[in-house]
Amino acid sequence: MKIINTSGKRKTAIARATLREGKGRVRINSVPLEVYGSEIIRMKIAEAIALAPGAIDGADVEIEVSGGGVMGQAEAVRTALGRGILNWTNDPRIKEVYLSYDRTLLVNDSRQKEAKKPHGRGARARFQKSYR
């Protein structure tokens, strides 16, 4: 039995995908993709499937995602799914399609939130000074 494990990250969200032989079902945190989150989130995740039609017809995908916010999780799921589909099929054409469409389907977006510094409300903002 063929099993593939992949992962994806975005900000503080981490997604772990497992692909097994099956009927083509995609579940995220045990929820089917068809009912997961909002329509925008579903569309963002489904890009990986839409760009490689028929690639996971014989595979069930189980994705566990935690940390971060809803869009960060969606981006992490999308990366894990894209990598999983590529490893499942071993098709170099899928890699070309993914990289030409959006590199983050295969490569983690490493950008992180800048840390808050002292003497201000955030990373760059500073409290105002008054000389009178």
Sign of the C-alpha dihedral, residues 122, 123, 125, 126?
Answer: positive
For residue 27, what are the β-bridge partners?
32, 62
Q: Is the pLDDT of residue 132 over 80?
A: no
User: Per residue in 97-114, pLDDT tens?
Assistant: 999 999 999 999 999 999
Annotated domain spans of the chain:
3-105
User: May I ask the CATH class of domain 3-105?
Assistant: alpha beta
State the pLDDT at residue 108: 95
State the pLDDT at residue 1: 86
Q: Minimal CA–CA distance to 84: which of 1, 12, 8, 10?
A: 8
d(CA 44, CA 41): 5
pTM of the model: 0.89
| CA 107 to chain CA centroid, nearest Å | 10
User: Per residue in 45-82, pLDDT tens?
Assistant: 999 999 999 899 999 999 999 999 999 999 999 999 99
